[in-house]
Amino acid sequence: MSPEEELWIQQRCAQLIHEFGAFVDADVPTRVAELFTADGVLDRAGIVATGRAAIASSISRAAPGTVRVHLYSNLTVRVQSSDHAAGRCYYQAFTFDAAPDEQQPTTPMVLGRIEDTFVRTEQGWRISYRRQVRVATRGRAPSPHTGPTPERSS
């Protein structure tokens, strides 16, 4: 594989990570689900949804009058082959009332880690497995799923 091909795969997989947050923020769970393979798995702090319909149903809709914002950092994508890659990043999720004149908390509602497995399909690159681990939640204790991450094979 050429360095250019590897870079293209890294960029496409990184784009999937950012699109996930953008579609959650835009309140379109069906678009979130389309980022996954047909049999994709979304594991959110131990709550697992398998398949696009289940993934779409597992994405909570924003309450009326609220705005959601997801920010990603420390994003890495490791290309394993021309058809497989793995990614990892940290995320912050914020929820605000839509009234922009009110003073609102600027601390994240959730701080966590994402681990993705990507595969190339006939439709392009998709997420086949996503594990979200909550590291901290505003007003709640951290997730019990914050321990060491087991290595996943593709």
CATH code of the domain in which 31 resides: 3.10.450.50
Give the count of beta carbons closer than 10 Å to the beta carbon of residue 4.
8
Task: Determine the pLDDT at residue 19.
Answer: 98
45: pLDDT strictly greater than 70: yes
The total of structural domains in the chain comes to: 1
Q: Look at 63 and 134; give whichever has higher pLDDT.
A: 134
Q: Is residue 102 domain-resident?
A: yes
84: pLDDT strictly greater than 90: yes
37-42 mean pLDDT: 98
User: Do the beta carbons of residue 126 and residue 93 sit within 8 Å?
Assistant: no
Model's pTM, two decimal places? Answer: 0.84
Q: Is residue 148 domain-resident?
A: no
Lowest mean pLDDT among 6-20, 26-40, 88-102: 88-102
Q: Is residue 149 domain-resident?
A: no
Structural domain that includes position 42: 3-137
> Which residues, at least 6 apart from 42, have a Cβ–Cβ distance to it below 8 Å?
36, 48, 49, 50, 54, 55, 58, 130, 132
88: pLDDT strictly greater than 50: yes
